Amino acid sequence: MRLNRRLFLLSDLGPNRVLASLALWHGVQGALLIALGVGGLVSRTQLLSLVHGIALAGAVVVGFLSVVASIGIARRSHIGRAASLVVHYLLFIAALIGLASALDLFKGLDVLADYAAEGVPFLMAFVFMVGYALRTIELSERPVPRWRRRIGSAVMLVGGVGVALSLGLVTALLDWVAKLLQSPSALVWLALAVISVFLLRVMWRDPVAAWLGARRTHGEQLVGWLFLSPNLLGFLFFFAGPLLFSLYVSFTNWDAFNRRDWVGLENYARAFGLVVQPLRVPDQPASEALDVRTYSELMRVHLPGQSFLIGARDRLFWISLGNTLLFSALAVPLSVVPALFLAVLLNMRLPGMRLYRTLYFIPSVAAVVGVALIWQWMYNSQVGWINYFITEGINFINALLGTDIPDPQIRWLADSSYALLSVVIMSAWQWIGFNTVLFLAGLQTIPRELYEAATVDGANPRQQFFHITLPLLAPTTFYVLVTASIQALQVFDQVFIISNGTGGPGTSTLTMTLNLYQNGFQSFRQGYASALAWILFVVIFLFTLFQFRRQRKASSAYES
Amino acid sequence: MAKNRLLRILTVLTSYGVLTFFALVMLFPFLVMLFTSLKTPADTFSYPPRLLPREQITVTLPGYERPLPLHLVEHEEGRTQPMALVEDNIRVGIFAPLQPDGSPDRSRVVMRRFGEVRVVGGEDPKTVLLDGAEVPVYEVNVDGEIQEMVVISRTAVGRFVNPDNPSESVLANVRLSPPVTRITAHPENYLTVVNLLGFDRALTNTALITILTVIGQLTTSVLGGYAFARLKFPGRDSLFLVYLGTVMVPFVVLIIPLYQLMVAIGWVNSMPALILPWLYTAYGTFLMRQFFITIPREVEEAALIDGASRLTILTRIFLPASVPALATLATFTFLYAWNSFFWPLVVVNTGNTRAQVLTLALNVLRGRASDSPNLILAGAAISIIPPTIVFALAQRYYVESVASSGLKG
Amino acid sequence: MRFLTFSPFVRLGAIALWVLSACAVPAPLPQQPAQPPAGEAPAAPASEEVVLRWRTRPDNKEEADVYASISDEVSKRIGVKLIYEPGGSETASYQDVLKTELASGTAPDVFWIPGTDIADFVERGLLLDLRPFAAKTPGYSDDNFYPEPMFHLTYNPATGKTGEVLWGLPRDVSTFVLYLNLDLINEAGAPDPRELAKAGKWDWAAFEEVARKVNALGGDIKGYGMNAWWGPYGAFMNAAGGGFFNKERNACNLTSKESLEGLAFLKKLYDEGLAVPYGEDSEPPFRAGKVGMFQNGRWATPGISTVTFNWDVVELPKGPSGHMGNWLFWGAYVVNKNTKHPELAWKLVDALTQPEIQAKVAARGTNIPSRRGEAVFEEFLKILPEKNNQAFLNGLADQPTAEGPLWTGSWPDFDRAMGAVVSDLLTGKITLEEFAKIACDEPSKAFNR
């Protein structure tokens, strides 16, 4: 029995034969994969579909690795072993994905959702959780009694089986097997998966490792990559790849339907295209000073004696940039300064502070879409609460002071001068709680003794705040500012809901992200929209860098 | 000393005052949401706005088939009284007596229905010149006395009767007579919303997406975080830097290529597109790594010597020690998955009910029920309440470790 | 020292297997609850079942229900299983979603689009030419429908000629009316617009007088309300003899004397506070009984018919040109270029525009049939008899301007640029003189191709 098993793992055949066959296998495999990949990439003259492109490029890479493995094994190097393991691991993953798509398993998530829609699975999951609670939660100092552990386990079992049954897992499993037997391509994938696993095992074995001179650290390295791999594959496939593709698209005029021509830097030129024209008279019409077929009036600059007209190729880009910066410039301080103030109050450690902290946090938990709908209603100029409070407040002041301040009757969302401000107020409201909690945590790391010492030295609370709290809170402030800015520069949900996706009234709430959405998914200029996305990225990057610099300077000043 | 104490009490009181004020500011919109979602549509438009849902009281009076709405009617002498509206939109004239010089006396006007008055002169109506136009003169009965009067304006009023004495009736402006209301609640709004747009399906879908995303992100982040924190492999640190850098890349950069990728794989409009791309997160990996490096190495080394595998060490030693970090990441992911809007907006279409999520359903709802804020806010409540509950349950870990884990960056 | 075993692999594999198997598609699903209830076709044909998906943009719940019931009816007629998908409403970017779906190949077989979008869809190559199928259909003729929509629906951008192709059939038509709050108008002692219209005295001056009187009731009562899109302000420009485009529809006409006259009148209403502020949705306050006259199309009738006050409709007042300058709104059922069943898709389009089906839509009060003819009008006039349906037909009879796409430019771009500058004008950001100078600068870019 023991012998058979070892024979199965090829260890009994002796190093030379095993390694030779493995090297040969990898050589053939590498040659095949490279041929397949290169052949596929070259033979297609017309546009490759994205998935085929990725698959073929992947084949070339794995093929190359396989050749490395072949040579490495032949030379008895541990690198060969590593390459072989990586190749087979990747093949195994590829086989699983191939199997899944051959059996249409991904679409199965939709079916899962159909089952979940009946609600029973959630009920069962709840039962499962109740069981878990029964098993583990300690009501007193003593450990959970045995009877409760037993009942808990039973309830968990019922819940777990219930979830499996109500989600159709059992029928799905049977069905899966049935399908597998009927589909040849699925069987091929399955075979590939099995072969990969088998060869992985062979290569992993201690004797084989020893023959190839692999040491313990080499093993650890491989385990490291193995642990990272789910993450890394996701990173490559859903992040790095798309990121590069986006960069490529930003140099084309892609419309998502037919056209995809390389246009070089045209998209960026279009976004940044500006002209400055001197004007004869300050209110000279733009059509006289500019080629209005290409340029639009962006703004006028009046210097003493001379006025200039600035025209832009894409006016909306500049407007959206301006709106975004204005939004951030208002929303960040509005959400950070009150937060700092509240955090200092909460840090007095009076009874009930936990409750306040929780209450402040609730808005940041809620969906922006829902919040925007609530505020849209509160902002209603005729029957909304905000104007009501303003009216009442002004009446009160007028009655108190005998003044005659008129009621402004602000049309928050319909007036282009106020619309962006409305969104700022709403967003600040939503972000304050989160920032407060961050500040509070930062404050709690400041040693109390410092304040006590300062009090002894006769420093008043104001001095304490500016000379102890603020400098020591600098890292927190930095973190809060950076996250709040990044969030603010990407604002989308709020303005989309508030303006019905138009960026209106006029262009007053057109932010960069919304402009990008309109270009990419309304006018279908996906190439241009990608360029806009990269510009936004650069803006955010510069912003963060700027904050970093300031933080560095500030902290070094503090240390010196 | 006494002065200091007074100062201290004052400070505390002011602090509580300020904190309570901000707490009200934070909560008020949610109260508006909850109460408005229980209103009738007409009630939402009332001004001045009121929090509690109210509805008009009706009474049934003998001789009238339908229940009659009660209004607070102001009588001429300034007294107000609840009265039942029995007839509305009665067109009446405001009549003024003619003075000797031929002009109307606007200080002694009366209101009459046109059926109650007669044109002077019958076939050959008598007219006077008023503001440059010939107007007819009417005979109007004022307290039993017939006077010659002209119409100076027209309006429409309602006829109200005293519910205690149905023979007593007055004519009064309906719009300006405030309805008599009582507090009520219309929880059926929630049912209406659910039936209107398949909110139930959106709810289960969102729940499923959220659960799977949380499980997936926790798994990949824990494995990746452990690899970055404890396992040595070539390229680890530079790769970690790359990961850190990606936290700064805005999602919008990815939206077009990711969308095209979904088109290429054929996942558009289906659940995998909402789940699978989000199973990996650079931020979560970073978070877990930061937590794992604080765990002492000694325990781990002892286990290694005992022959435990890395996976065993991870599950038996690291995971139990990092419950706060896990709770934080789970809550973060939960909120992110539950509230995400931009990606579903792009990748799932409104007509599709099978992959509908709450935020999208809300977006459709606000168009479909644009005239019923009560329904829209009921929908908002459905989407907001579950994450609030999750937060309330997890906040013991969450609030504290959001801060501490975030700050280590 | 076997610190590394295979157990991680085996365990992970088992978990992966289990998770993946969870996603397997079981053959027969137990009664999918997700199916839109409207799509359940009775008596589904056996064996290889053909399923067509179709979509409209319902403006409210009532409208969605109408189309869902029609779907069942038509399904029986043409013997194909139909799935009706109510698309997003106007605020949920209906057309954008459609285009996104077309780009990704998940769009329905048949869908409705507004008349203004036909050119955009055609030029992107998204629509199927239905002419070959129509030619084989007995009894079909372009002349059964209003000529203005058919001009655009049969326009071939490749040759610049009309009548050659067929992109779709108009679903219905509509015009603007003024919805009246009779309670407010009577309370204000204003003359009854319906009687003025009958007497031929319903012009801008009379309209302004009524708005002014109602507005004088004070408080939050407004004389007039309209919503912020091209239709309402366009009607005023039309009524003054102007319009968005020149006759050839290849240049901007916003700054012509006539167009400016229409906008000047409208601006006066806004500047003097007679109207619900521009940019705010006027329908909620109208339905709350706070607006005297509300300008909207037939599609608003089902929603408005639920109000508690006395209401009616009246045609738009006649402007300086002697006409009310109304629009002929229309939208069309078109067929996805990539449909798998072009023949059946045409059958569906044809069936959806048959008089009996259109009568059903009209019966719910949603829209006016797109077919011409006395019989159709007779049917329409029977609906909601207490209301003045004739007002809609008067609008259609008084030389309406048909909404239409821009074959020489991009309507969405034009609309966006025009909307911004008109909004600036009507909210008082710029004066009429400034508007006259700059209004065409941006919209004209829509003609740059």
Q: Which chains touch B (3 or more CB pairs under 8 A)?
A: A, C
Q: How far is A23 from chain B (nearest CA, A)?
A: 24
Task: For residue C156, give the 3-state DSSP assignment.
Answer: strand
Residues B42 and B8 in one domain: yes
Residues B150 and B200 in one domain: no
Cβ pair C256, C188 in contact under 8 A = no
Amino acid at C36: P
Task: For residue A161, give the 3-state DSSP assignment.
Answer: helix
The β-bridge partners of C330 are C173
pLDDT per position as a tens digit, A185-242 = 888 889 999 999 888 888 887 777 777 777 777 778 888 888 888 888 888 888 888 8
pLDDT of residue C385: 46
| Predicted ipTM of the assembly | 0.83
What residues of C are in contact with residue B261 (Cβ under 8 Å)?
A: none
Tell me if A266 is assigned to some domain.
no
Residue A469 has pLDDT above 60, yes or no: yes
In Å, how far are A97, A534, C187 from A186, measured between CA atoms? 10, 40, 77
Separation between Cα atoms, residue C106 and residue B273, nearest integer Å:
14
> CB-CB: which of C2, C25, C410 is closest to A107?
C25
Which run of H or of E encompasses B217? helix B199-230
Separation between Cα atoms, residue A96 and residue A91, nearest integer Å:
8
Least confident stretch, A166-175, A224-233, B45-54, C30-39: C30-39
Residues A362 and A497 in one domain: yes
Amino acid at C177: V
Residue at a domain's end among B135, B158, B183: B183
Q: B188: Cβ–Cβ under 8 A, 6 or more apart, which residues?
A: none
- For chains A and B, CB pairs below 8 A equal 316
In Å, how far are A7, B145, B152, B366, C189 from B103, measured between CA atoms? 124, 20, 11, 56, 21
What confidence tier does A423 reach under pLDDT thresholds 50, 70, 90? Answer: very high
The separation between CA B114 and the C-alpha centre of its own chain, rounded to angstroms, equals 47
- Does C449 or B258 have the greater pLDDT score? B258
Separation between Cα atoms, residue A218 and residue A230, nearest integer Å:
20
- Nearest alpha-carbon partner for A121 in A85, A169, A80, A64: A169
Task: For residue C48, give the 3-state DSSP assignment.
Answer: coil
Residues A285, C124: C-beta atoms closer than 8 Å: no
Q: Span A429-457, mean pLDDT?
A: 87
pLDDT per position as a tens digit, A83-99 = 888 899 999 988 988 88
> CB-CB: which of A49, A227, A536 is closest to B224?
A227
> CB-CB: which of C90, C187, C281 is closest to B155?
C187
Residues C99, A524: C-beta atoms closer than 8 Å: yes
Count up the domains in chain A and report the number.
Answer: 4
Q: Span C131-153, mean pLDDT?
A: 90
Residues A117, C33: C-beta atoms closer than 8 Å: yes
Instruction: Check for a shared fold between C37-172+329-392 and C176-325+409-447.
Output: yes
Q: How far is C175 from chain A (nearest CA, A)?
A: 24
Task: For residue A310, give the 3-state DSSP assignment.
Answer: strand
Residues B290 and B373 in one domain: yes
pLDDT of residue C383: 65
What residues of A are in contact with residue B260 (Cβ under 8 Å)?
A: 50, 245, 249, 256, 526
Percent of chain A with pLDDT over 90: 19
Query: Closest residue of A to B199, CA-based?
Result: A117
CB atoms within 10 A of CB B28: 16
Residues A406 and A462 in one domain: yes
Residues B331 and B355 in one domain: yes
Residues B47 and B96 in one domain: no
Residues A360, B362: C-beta atoms closer than 8 Å: no
- Nearest alpha-carbon partner for A422 in A347, A368, A499, A348: A499
Residues B50 and B105 in one domain: no
Residues B215 and B336 in one domain: yes
**What φ, ψ does residue B87 adopt, rounded to 5°?**
-155, 135
Residue A411 has pLDDT above 50, yes or no: yes
Q: Which chains touch C (3 or more CB pairs under 8 A)?
A: A, B
Residues B271 and B328 in one domain: yes
Using N-to-C axis directions, what is the helix angle for B236-246 and A216-235, rounded to 10°? 20
pLDDT per position as a tens digit, A493-504 = 899 888 888 887
At the second CATH level, the architecture of C37-172+329-392 is 3-Layer(aba) Sandwich (3.40)
The β-bridge partners of B94 are B111, B153
Residues A75 and A130 in one domain: no
Residues B14 and B144 in one domain: no
Residues C423, A505: C-beta atoms closer than 8 Å: yes
Residues B155 and B69 in one domain: yes
Residues A92 and A202 in one domain: yes
Q: Does the beta carbon of C21 lie under 8 angstroms from any beta carbon of chain A?
A: yes
Percent of chain A with pLDDT over 70: 94
CB atoms within 10 A of CB B117: 19
The β-bridge partners of C114 are C331
Residues A13 and A127 in one domain: no
Tell me if A94 is assigned to some domain.
yes
Task: For residue B115, give the 3-state DSSP assignment.
Answer: helix
Residues A106, B272: C-beta atoms closer than 8 Å: yes
Using N-to-C axis directions, what is the helix angle for A419-444 and A368-378, rounded to 10°? 130
Q: How far is C347 from chain B (nearest CA, A)?
A: 22
Cβ pair A65, A56 in contact under 8 A = no
Token readout for B307 is 């022959």
CB atoms within 10 A of CB A147: 8
Amino acid at A389: F
Separation between Cα atoms, residue A424 and residue A334, nearest integer Å:
8
Q: How far apart are the first and last CA of chain B?
A: 45
What residues of B are in contact with residue A490 (Cβ under 8 Å)?
A: 250-252
Count up the domains in chain B and report the number.
Answer: 3
Domain that holds residue B80: 55-183
Q: Give the residue carrying structure tokens 């039973």.
A: A154
Cβ pair C185, C210 in contact under 8 A = yes
DSSP C316: P
DSSP of A174-189: HHHHHHHHH-HHHHHH
**What φ, ψ does residue B91 adopt, rounded to 5°?**
-85, 125
Separation between Cα atoms, residue A152 and residue A155, nearest integer Å:
5
Q: Give the residue carrying structure tokens 């904190």.
A: B19
Q: Which of A49, A111, A204 to mutate to test the interface with C (most CBs of C within 10 A)?
A: A111
DSSP of A60-81: HHHHHHHHHHHHHHHTT-HHHH
Residues A329 and A376 in one domain: yes
Least confident stretch, A202-216, A291-305, C43-57: C43-57
pLDDT per position as a tens digit, A492-543 = 989 988 888 888 787 899 999 999 988 888 888 889 999 999 999 999 888 8
Residue C242 has pLDDT above 80, yes or no: yes
pLDDT of residue A13: 62
Residue B306 has pLDDT above 80, yes or no: yes
Q: How far is A514 from chain B (nearest CA, A)?
A: 10
Token readout for A73 is 């094994």
What confidence tier does B300 reach under pLDDT thresholds 50, 70, 90? Answer: confident
Tell me if A247 is assigned to some domain.
no
Tell me if A229 is assigned to some domain.
no
The β-bridge partners of B80 are B74
> CB-CB: which of C1, C4, C183 is closest to B309?
C4
Residues A296 and A325 in one domain: no
For domain C176-325+409-447, is the CATH number 3.80.10.10? no
Residues B252 and B372 in one domain: yes
Q: Does the beta carbon of B46 lie under 8 angstroms from any beta carbon of chain A?
A: yes
Residue C21 has pLDDT above 60, yes or no: no
What residues of A are in contact with residue C102 (Cβ under 8 Å)?
A: 257
Q: Does the beta carbon of C355 lie under 8 angstroms from any beta carbon of chain A?
A: no
In Å, how far are A267, C117, C180 from A253, measured between CA atoms? 8, 22, 50
Q: Between β-strands C110-114 and C327-335, what pairing exists: parallel, antiparallel or unpaired?
A: antiparallel
Residues A202 and A82 in one domain: yes
Amino acid at A148: R
pLDDT of residue A338: 94
Q: Which of A303-307, A361-365, B215-219, C389-393 has the highest mean pLDDT?
A: B215-219
Q: What's chain A's average pLDDT?
A: 84
Domain that holds residue A174: 108-182
Separation between Cα atoms, residue C395 and residue C417, nearest integer Å:
28
Q: Between β-strands C81-86 and C51-56, what pairing exists: parallel, antiparallel or unpaired?
A: parallel
**Residues 216-275, chain B, touching A (beta carbon < 8 A):** 219-221, 223-224, 226-228, 231-234, 236, 239, 243, 246, 248-258, 260-261, 263-265, 267, 270-272, 275
- Nearest alpha-carbon partner for B82 in B180, B183, B182: B180
Cβ pair B370, C281 in contact under 8 A = yes
Separation between Cα atoms, residue B96 and residue B147, nearest integer Å:
9
Its sign, for the CA torsion A510, A513, A517, A523, is positive
Domain range list for chain C: 37-172+329-392, 176-325+409-447
Residues A427 and A517 in one domain: yes
What confidence tier does C213 reach under pLDDT thresholds 50, 70, 90? Answer: very high
Q: Span B131-148, mean pLDDT?
A: 84
Q: Span C30-46, mean pLDDT?
A: 36
Cβ pair B220, A230 in contact under 8 A = yes
pLDDT of residue C2: 37
CB atoms within 10 A of CB C125: 10
To 10 degrees, the CA torsion angle through C396, C401, C406, C407?
A: 80
Cβ pair B90, B157 in contact under 8 A = yes
DSSP of C168-202: EEEEEEE-EEEEEEHHHHHHTT---HHHHHHTT--
Residues B209 and B130 in one domain: no
Residues A414 and A489 in one domain: yes
Residues A479, B406: C-beta atoms closer than 8 Å: yes
